[in-house]
Every structure is written in structure tokens, then in C-alpha cells.
Amino acid sequence: MIKIQDLEFEAFIDREAINDRIGEIGYELTKKYKDENPIFLGMLSGAFVFMADIIRAFDGDCEVTFVKYYSYDGVKSTGKLNEVIGVDDSIRGRTVILIEDIVDTGNTLHEFLPKVFAKEPKTVEVVSLLVKPSALQHDITVHQTGFEIEDVFVVGYGLDYNGLGRNLQAIYRKRD
Ligand SMILES: O=P(O)(O)OC[C@H]1O[C@H](OP(=O)(O)OP(=O)(O)O)[C@H](O)[C@@H]1O
Ligand SMILES: Nc1nc2[nH]cnc2c(=O)[nH]1
């Protein structure tokens, strides 16, 4: 059990399980896109840890770029997506592998994906380490999912609670 500010969290997905799943997803992405020099598009801040591991599980030429959007305050979505760094022109005509740490309500991708398609990439593959199917409020296609989880707030491995917990090695779930 760990405590971050006022909340308690318990162990949920350990580092070995995360590593194994990243190996599998990396293998799938390599099979599909090895010869395409894809551009990995990471969603800051949460996805930076997953991004660092997934690109090293990809066996081929690739490039990297980032955007930064946020909408959460504490454990809740504000419903308003704030843009800090938007998508640049580097993805035009390219095979894009969009890397998310989590798809929860789906609001972030629902608002962000049209901005990606507006840049006219060749193709977009959405990869998320975590997906909460029961929390989804939009029809979002996630092509590669690390783990489907129930609707519980999680931290660690890039994911934060009020900015804290991103440096935890594993993923923890909030205790009731
Ligand atoms: O599907 P949704 O309900 O939109 O939630 C998913 C988004 O929430 C988190 O971002 P957050 O707003 O917490 O910003 P952060 O990545 O900087 O922590 C996460 O990184 C996703 O981008
Ligand atoms: N840290 C964290 N951020 C999120 N953003 C959307 N869902 C979550 C969650 O469960 N944990």
C-alpha cells in the first residue's frame, strides 16, 4: 500500500507484467510497420514513460514527436481539454503510432484525433497501455491495448495523482 497526499493506493499491475505486454505490443508493431519508418506520437505528460519503453520494443527505423494536452484535476476529468503543445506538421503523410497511457472516458482522443487527421497522415494506429471499457463515452478505436481495466483511478508508470506518482515503477489502484 502507498499513500499520495490524501489517497491510498494498492499494487495493481506489476513491472514484469507491464514489460511482458510491451514486448508483445512491440512485436506486433514491428511486424506491421518495420519498413515504414513510423512516427511515434506521444501524449504528454502521462505517456512519456510508456513511450520510452515502447519505442525501444520497436525493431526498425522510427521517429518520435509529442503533444501535450490535459483535462484531469485530481481523480476527475474536467471535461475540458487544454492544449499546451499541439500537433505539428511532421506527421503529414506519415504512418503515425499514437501512444497514450490511458483511455478512460475517451474525451481526450475524441477531441484530439480530428486534429491528427487534419494533418493528413498516411495512417494512424492508436496504442494505449490501459483502457477502461466501462468508462468510455465515445466510440474510440484502440488498435493495441496493454490492459483493459475496470473503472478505478490508477497511478504510476507515468500516470499521476495531482502531479505525483509518475515515477512509480508499477501501476497502483486507488483504494475505496
Ligand atoms: O480518456 P480520458 O478520460 O480523456 O482520459 C485520458 C487522458 O487522461 C490523462 O491525461 P491528463 O489530463 O491527466 O493529463 P496528464 O497526461 O498530463 O496527466 C491521460 O494521460 C490521457 O491523456
Ligand atoms: N492518473 C490517472 N490519470 C487518468 N486519466 C484518465 N484516467 C486516469 C486514471 O485512472 N489515472
DSSP assignment of 52-72: HHHHHT--S--EEEEEEEEEE
Q: What is the pLDDT of residue 116?
A: 98
Q: How many domains does the chain have?
A: 1
Q: Is 51 in the pocket of ligand 2 (CB under 6 A)?
A: no
Question: Considering the chain, what is the average pLDDT of its residues?
Answer: 97
CA distance 170 to 16: 9
- Asked about 104 being catalytic, the answer comes back as yes
Query: Confidence class of residue 7 from pLDDT cuts 50, 70 and 90?
Result: very high
CATH code, 138: 3.40.50.2020
Q: What does the pLDDT look like over 119-156, one tens digit per residue? A: 999 999 999 999 999 999 999 999 999 999 999 999 99
Q: Which three cell numbers stand for residue 142?
A: 484502440
Q: Is 160 in the pocket of ligand 2 (CB under 6 A)?
A: yes
CA distances 66 to 55, 89, 90, 141, 175, Å, are: 13, 12, 11, 20, 32
Structural domain span for residue 35? 2-174
21, containing H or E segment: helix 15-33
CA distance 106 to 130: 12
ipTM tops the 0.90 cut: yes
Residue 115, classed as helix, strand or coil, is helix
Query: Confidence class of residue 114 from pLDDT cuts 50, 70 and 90?
Result: very high
CA of residue 60 to ligand 2 center, whole Å:
31
Q: What is the pLDDT of residue 17?
A: 98
